[in-house]
């Protein structure tokens, strides 16, 4: 922690100097930006004046040319002085018009150059402001309490432990599935094979009536084996989640859990329109609700659980409330594997999960997840 603090102080000093340099560059660019805008405004005003002067000169040049044409056609009617003045006036107006054009061209080039430089300065100013904002975030992080840095390290360690627990959980899950399949469907299927042989012997020895009775028992055994296989598959991942969606799958799952636990009452309420969600949302929310309900039954000894689901166009809210034993939220203790898993899932969806509990008064779990779609992202942008 001492080394972390020393590194943090050194980084803070470097970041502070960088922020000052960027701020100074930004201010210089902003001042130059204002000066260029003023210069551009002056050029635009001067351009308007030159255009008006040019229009007037063109009209005067046209009149002078008409006068020269008149003098040329009636040369003998004009004196030498009048002819000379006509030529000199036409020449002078043409020179003035040429100077006007050249001056306008110079101003146009200068205006285009200023506009390009203004655009570049504007981008530089925006970039400087973004960098200052980002650096401010870094500085706030670096200047925060050292305890927060310790919490970050602790969270990183917790995530590492969580990864190891995932590996252990995978192995435990494989063992559990192996035992369940061996003790359940495998044994039942072995009995089915033996029972099929028994039906043949009963038919030969005791007749059709006794054989039909054995066939009836045989069908019950096959149904039980099929039920066990479906239960195992359902625990792994409910197929109805892909076919029907979150709400029907939750309704069926909670009804099944209520049947397994005769002393528990589970009430499911869906608010709003029932609709499908992207797969990542449906899977994550189902698992988090499943974990919350299992925690209430196994650890809180709850006999009443209420699950409320609300789906809107922009977010999903879940409330799981039980009347279990509860716990003291002020006492910090290591979180269980299930709770860590729920936090990981809700973090992946950019959501939030909160717990409200009191000893003897049950626990309330609130999950809020925003629905991020392409349409929402464009609107937010």
| pLDDT over 50 at 255, yes or no | yes
Burial of 238 (0-12, 13-18, 19+ CB in 10 A): buried
pLDDT band for position 367 (cuts 50, 70, 90) = very high
| pLDDT over 90 at 365, yes or no | yes
Q: What is the mean pLDDT of the chain?
A: 78
Question: Which of 246, 236, 258, 343 lies closest to 285 in space, CA to CA?
Answer: 246
pLDDT band for position 368 (cuts 50, 70, 90) = very high
| % of the chain exceeding 70 in pLDDT | 76
Which of 12-26, 139-153, 288-302, 321-335 is the most confident on average? 288-302
| pLDDT over 60 at 380, yes or no | no
Q: What is the pLDDT of residues 118-163, one digit of tens each?
A: 888 888 888 878 877 777 776 776 666 544 555 555 566 666 665 5
Q: Poorest-confidence range of 74-88, 113-127, 148-162, 305-319?
A: 148-162
| pLDDT over 60 at 1, yes or no | no
Spatial separation of the C-alpha atoms in residues 337 and 295, rounded to whole Å:
11
135-139-140-145 Cα dihedral, nearest 10 degrees: 160
Q: Residue 203 has what pLDDT?
A: 72
Higher pLDDT: 340 or 358? It is 358
Q: What is the mean pLDDT of residues 196-225?
A: 74
Burial of 318 (0-12, 13-18, 19+ CB in 10 A): buried
| pLDDT over 60 at 212, yes or no | yes
Beta strand ranges found along 247-303 (DSSP E) = 265-271
Q: Residue 379 has what pLDDT?
A: 46
Check the CA dihedral 105-109-114-115 and report its sign: positive
| pLDDT over 90 at 344, yes or no | no
Q: Poorest-confidence range of 20-24, 25-29, 74-78, 285-289?
A: 74-78
pLDDT band for position 372 (cuts 50, 70, 90) = confident
Q: What is the mean pLDDT of residues 338-366?
A: 86
Q: Which residues contact 338 (CB under 8 A, 6 or more apart)?
A: 291, 294, 295
Q: Residue 307 has what pLDDT?
A: 95
Higher pLDDT: 146 or 73? It is 73
Instruction: Identify the three-state secondary structure at position 140.
Output: helix
Give the pairing of strands 315-322 and 304-311: antiparallel
CB-CB contact of 22 with 128 (8 Å): yes
Higher pLDDT: 342 or 332? It is 342
């Amino acid at each position: 922690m001492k080394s972390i603090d020393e590194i943090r102080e050194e980084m803070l000093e470097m970041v502070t100097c960088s922020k000052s340099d960027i701020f100074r560059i930004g201010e210089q660019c902003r001042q130059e930006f204002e000066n260029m805008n003023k210069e551009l405004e002056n050029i635009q005003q001067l351009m308007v004046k030159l255009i008006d002067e040019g229009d007037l000169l063109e009209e005067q040049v046209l009149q002078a040319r008409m006068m020269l044409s008149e003098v040329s056609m009636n040369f003998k009617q004009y004196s030498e002085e009048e002819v000379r003045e006509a030529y000199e006036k036409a020449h002078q107006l043409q020179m003035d018009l040429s100077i006007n054009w050249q001056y306008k061209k110079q101003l146009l080039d200068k205006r285009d150059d200023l506009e390009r430089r203004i655009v570049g300065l504007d981008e530089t100013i925006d970039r400087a402001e973004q960098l200052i904002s980002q650096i401010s975030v870094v500085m706030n992080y670096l200047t925060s309490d050292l305890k927060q840095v310790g919490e970050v390290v602790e969270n990183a360690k917790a995530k590492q432990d969580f990864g190891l627990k995932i590996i252990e959980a995978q192995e435990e899950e494989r063992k559990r599935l192996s035992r369940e399949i061996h003790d359940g469907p495998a044994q039942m299927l072995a009995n089915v094979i033996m029972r099929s042989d028994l039906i043949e012997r009963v038919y030969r020895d005791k007749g059709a009536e006794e054989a039909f009775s054995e066939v009836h028992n045989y069908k019950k055994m096959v149904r039980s084996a099929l039920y066990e296989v479906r239960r195992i598959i359902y625990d792994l991942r409910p197929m109805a989640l892909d076919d029907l969606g979150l709400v029907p799958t939750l309704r069926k799952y909670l009804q099944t859990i209520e049947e397994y636990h005769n002393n528990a009452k589970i009430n499911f309420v869906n608010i709003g329109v029932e609709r499908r969600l992207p797969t990542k949302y449906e899977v994550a929310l189902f698992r988090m609700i499943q974990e919350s309900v299992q925690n209430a039954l196994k650890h809180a000894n709850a006999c009443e659980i209420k699950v409320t689901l609300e789906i809107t166009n922009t977010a999903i809210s879940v409330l799981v409330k039980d009347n279990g034993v509860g716990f003291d939220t002020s006492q910090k203790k290591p979180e269980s594997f299930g709770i860590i898993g729920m936090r990981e899932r809700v973090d992946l969806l950019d959501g939030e999960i909160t717990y409200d509990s009191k000893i003897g008064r049950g626990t309330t779990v609130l999950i809020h997840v925003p629905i991020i779609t392409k349409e929402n992202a464009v609107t937010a942008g």
